[in-house]
Amino acid sequence: MNVGSGPFVGTRLRTGMERFSANAIVVMGVSGSGKSTVGKALAHKLGWKFQDGDDLHPEQNVLKLSKGQSLTDEDREPWLKILHKVLREWTEHHVDGVLVCSALRRCYRTALVGPDLSDSVVFVYLTGSRDLIAERMRSRSGHFMPVSLLDSQLRTLEPPDSTERVITCDVAGSVEEIVEMIVKRVAPRRNMHTV
């Protein structure tokens, strides 16, 4: 995966308060940042379809993660292709949707968007302190990602920059506050011109 290429290269810098048109929102961040909770609440608020990317991991990835082993780029590649296909099908069928995916590295985000969806997708980056995220991970049950992998994810993380279509949200806020902030910054593509 080539980090230096893709739909973000050559795009104009953004100030951080733009309003985006999109038919797909990808809620991203490390495990425990609240992606699924925020993603479901956002999809409900907007009346959009919801898909948790974790549910589409190949079985061998889930097994590896549940044993506390980090995924390699080779492990992630087929999963990212599946998620890109979901985003492409939403666009082709005029479906508005919210997808949850860690999308930790720029090359993963490039793979999700591909050459064909750069104007259709906006990322929501959930960020917060390591201590807060670790505490949330310890308090949840039934998830295959152990707290022991948080530091690995933080080392892998390449935060989105101002050349990407991204809305950054601090997870210290309530779910309702985060969702309201996102809703103010995103409109379905049919309702406004692409930013």
Q: Determine how many CB atoms are found less than 10 A away from the CB of residue 122.
A: 23
pLDDT digits 0-9 by tens, 71-114? 889 999 999 999 999 999 999 999 999 999 999 999 999 999 99
pLDDT digits 0-9 by tens, 109-141? 999 999 999 899 999 999 988 888 877 777 655
Q: How far apart are the first and last CA of the chain?
A: 26
Strands 49-52 and 97-100: what pairing? parallel
pLDDT digits 0-9 by tens, 40-83? 999 999 999 999 998 998 899 988 888 878 788 999 999 999 99
Pick from 35, 37, 27, 106: nearest CA to 73:
106
More reliable by pLDDT, 192 or 55: 55
Residue 34 DSSP code = -
pLDDT of residue 65: 80
CA–CA dist 112, 81 (Å, integer): 7
